[in-house]
Amino acid sequence: MDFFDVARTQRAMRRLYSDPIADEDLWTILETAIMAPSGGNRQPWNFVVIRDAGVKAKIAAWYLEAWTTAYGGATRDAMLADAAMAKTFKSADYLARHLADVPVLVLATIKKDMFAIGPTLGASIYPAVQNLMLAARALGLGTALTTLHKLHEADVKQLLGIPDDVETMALIPVGRPKGQFGRPNRLPVEKVVYWDGWGKQRTRS
């Protein structure tokens, strides 16, 4: 696919089929992930590929508990009442209730050191995650960047044997999407870009 077509149609795909994903496709998206920029070329990342049904079930249970805690009750009602948010909420709710059925979960982690702490912790890993998601899109696979598992960070790390000096940063479901790729709903670029100072907008010529 043309790069710009990939980038402009790579959107969160949370409704995924349970069909297995080929090893070759997984290696392709993971190798693309590690081509991302890395501060000082330290490459502090690791990726845990999760396909074992029992492991996925445990993570899915924690994820659903976190989802219900964060987005249940009045929050759920308010989001469903908002026409702009309802579609996204229903999609995210579906993922939370079907995470165990997703064929592959990829857990992106980063080793904490003197250069990767506090607000800079995600500086290397999130470009790699975006590379992974773009590569998946180019192969016709759906993904979404999720972080709710972090409400059970200690449980997830113990389950997977992740060392204390490594932090999990994103959980990415990967699968064949049930929906259609397409350009996401975004504000016009002229509305969010300022030139040479805050609030200084320009129109495209």
Residues 151-161 pLDDT 10s: 999 999 999 99
Global pTM?
Answer: 0.93
State residue 72's pLDDT score: 84
Residue 12 burial (CB count, 10 A): 16
Write out the two tokens for 127. Answer: 């470009």
Closest CA relative to residue 137, chosen from 102, 89, 172? 172
Closest CA relative to residue 59, chosen from 148, 132, 130, 133? 148
What b/e readout covers 177-192, taking b as 16+ CB neighbours within 10 angstroms? beeebeeeeeeeeeee
Give DSSP secondary structure letters for the chain.
--HHHHHHH--B---B------HHHHHHHHHHHTTS--GGG---EEEEEE--HHHHHHHHHHHHHHHHHHH-HHHHHHHHH-HHHHHHHHHHHHHHHHGGGSSEEEEEEEE-BTTB-GGGTTTTHHHHHHHHHHHHHHTT-EE--B-GGGGGHHHHHHHHT--TTEEEEEEEEEE-BSS---------HHHH--SSSTT------
Question: Mean pLDDT throughout 92-96?
Answer: 95
Query: How do residues 135-173 score in pLDDT, each as one tens digit?
Result: 999 999 999 999 999 999 999 999 999 999 999 999 999
Query: How do residues 70-89 score in pLDDT, each as one tens digit?
Result: 888 888 888 888 888 888 88
Query: How do residues 107-117 score in pLDDT, each as one tens digit?
Result: 999 998 766 66
State residue 108's pLDDT score: 98
